[in-house]
């Protein structure tokens, strides 16, 4: 039996080189911003790992079958059969990709999702599309996932003076688990990362000035 689960493919458009860069040279731009502390080096901490497919092992669905067999056979050796059957899990569906979330944000300064749930260690893809019309300089959006204990408010505050770094404060780079680029109207960016192993609620936000205060935030729940 093969799994029917499919993840709708992300729009193929504009997917080009976005995932790839581990440390995007364009991140802070070439000019230095003294107000923002150490230039560059921000994205060096961000991991863009992709774990092999099938990371999340499927739960066994065999016991009920084994039970039925036991009843029919009415014999003694069933315990051992169950053990051997359970030792060979079904192969993971080869088509299973990362768990994908399609985020949108427009001129109203809201994400369409404020809560996302994933499994610990799962590969996650977040696609952010700016559906607005205002210029990137006045209404850009990004998606930044922080560590569990990080403060979204503190990150947003620090980001305000980091225009040259697309509002990603280098001094708080170690609080960032993953992020997209800052996208302007009708632009899309996406990021693939491995969900943290520790369950809990991880804050995410848009770090463009004043957007956090306007409610561009949420939580990624790790189960
Ligand atoms: Cu925003």
Question: Is the residue at 28 inside a domain?
Answer: no
User: Is 172 strand, coil or helix?
Assistant: helix
Question: 63: buried, middle or exposed (CB in 10 Å: 19+, 13-18, 0-12)?
Answer: exposed
**155 and 193 housed in the same domain:** yes
Q: What is the 106 CA–ligand 1 centroid distance (Å)?
A: 8
Q: What is the pLDDT of residue 86?
A: 55
* Residue 6 CB neighbour total at 10 angstroms: 10
Give 89's pLDDT tier (boundaries 50, 70, 90). Answer: low
Give the chain's mean pLDDT.
75
Q: What is the mean pLDDT of residues 15-19?
A: 41
The predicted-structure confidence for 165-190, as pLDDT tens digits, reads as follows 999 999 999 999 999 999 999 999 99
Residues less than 5 Å from ion ligand 1, measured at CB: 141, 206, 208, 211, 216
Residues 6+ apart with CB under 8 A from 48: 19, 20, 21, 22, 178, 191, 192, 193
Q: Which helix (H) or strand (E) holds 86?
A: helix 78-86
Q: What is the 96 CA–ligand 1 centroid distance (Å)?
A: 31
Q: Print the domain residue range for 67.
A: 59-91
* Residue 154 CB neighbour total at 10 angstroms: 13
**pLDDT > 60? residue 92:** no
Q: What is the pLDDT of residue 2?
A: 43
Identify the sign of the CA torsion 162, 164, 184, 18.
negative
The answer to whether residues 115 and 219 touch, using CB atoms and an 8 Å cutoff, is: yes
Question: Is the residue at 190 inside a domain?
Answer: yes
**pLDDT > 80? residue 215:** yes
Question: Is the residue at 8 inside a domain?
Answer: no
Q: What is the pLDDT of residue 34?
A: 41
**39 and 64 housed in the same domain:** no
Q: What is the pLDDT of residue 153?
A: 98
Q: What values do phi and psi take at 170, rounded to 5?
A: -60, -30
**40 and 139 housed in the same domain:** yes
Question: Is the residue at 72 inside a domain?
Answer: yes
Rounded Cα gap, residues 32 and 164, in angstroms: 7
Rounded Cα gap, residues 83 and 60, in angstroms: 12
Q: What is the pLDDT of residue 203?
A: 98
Q: What is the 138 CA–ligand 1 centroid distance (Å)?
A: 10
Give 35's pLDDT tier (boundaries 50, 70, 90). Answer: low
**105 and 172 housed in the same domain:** yes
Q: What is the mean pLDDT of residues 10-36?
A: 43
The predicted-structure confidence for 63-88, as pLDDT tens digits, reads as follows 444 333 434 344 444 333 444 455 66
The predicted-structure confidence for 121-135, as pLDDT tens digits, reads as follows 999 999 999 999 999
**113 and 159 housed in the same domain:** yes
**197 and 102 housed in the same domain:** yes
Q: What is the pLDDT of residue 119?
A: 97
Higher pLDDT, 21 or 90: 90
Q: What is the 198 CA–ligand 1 centroid distance (Å)?
A: 27
**47 and 86 housed in the same domain:** no
Question: Is the residue at 23 inside a domain?
Answer: no
Q: What is the 75 CA–ligand 1 centroid distance (Å)?
A: 65
**86 and 129 housed in the same domain:** no
Rounded Cα gap, residues 12 and 101, in angstroms: 15
**45 and 125 housed in the same domain:** yes
Q: What is the pLDDT of residue 36?
A: 72
Question: Is the residue at 132 inside a domain?
Answer: yes
Among residues 130, 145, 137, which one has the least CA distance to residue 179?
Answer: 145
Question: Is the residue at 169 inside a domain?
Answer: yes
Return the beta strands (E) in the chain as ranges: 99-105, 115-118, 123-130, 144-146, 176-179, 188-194, 200-205, 217-222
Find the CATH number of the domain harbouring 113: 2.60.40.420
Structure tokens at 167: 């509002």
**pLDDT > 50? residue 6:** no
**pLDDT > 80? residue 162:** yes
**215 and 183 housed in the same domain:** yes
């Amino acid at each position: 039996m093969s799994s029917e689960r499919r993840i709708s493919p992300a729009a193929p458009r504009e997917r080009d080189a976005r995932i790839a860069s581990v440390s995007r040279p364009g991140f802070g731009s070439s000019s230095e911003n003294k107000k923002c502390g150490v230039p560059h080096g921000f994205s060096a901490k961000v991991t863009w790992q992709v774990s092999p497919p099938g990371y999340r092992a499927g739960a066994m669905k065999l016991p009920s079958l084994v039970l039925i067999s036991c009843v029919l056979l009415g014999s003694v050796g069933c315990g051992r059969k169950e053990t051997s059957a359970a030792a060979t899990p079904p192969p993971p569906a080869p088509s299973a990709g990362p768990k994908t979330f399609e985020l949108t944000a427009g001129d109203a300064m809201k994400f369409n999702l404020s809560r996302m749930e994933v499994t610990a260690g799962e590969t996650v893809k977040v696609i952010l599309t700016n559906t607005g019309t205002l210029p990137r300089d006045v209404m850009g959006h990004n998606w930044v996932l922080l560590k569990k204990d990080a403060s979204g408010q503190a990150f947003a505050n620090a980001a305000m003076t980091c225009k040259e770094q697309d509002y990603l404060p280098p001094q708080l780079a170690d609080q960032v688990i993953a992020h997209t680029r800052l996208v302007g109207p009708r632009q899309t960016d996406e990021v693939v990362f491995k969900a943290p192993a520790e369950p809990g609620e991880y804050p995410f936000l848009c770090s463009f000035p004043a957007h956090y205060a306007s409610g561009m935030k949420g939580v990624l729940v790790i189960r």
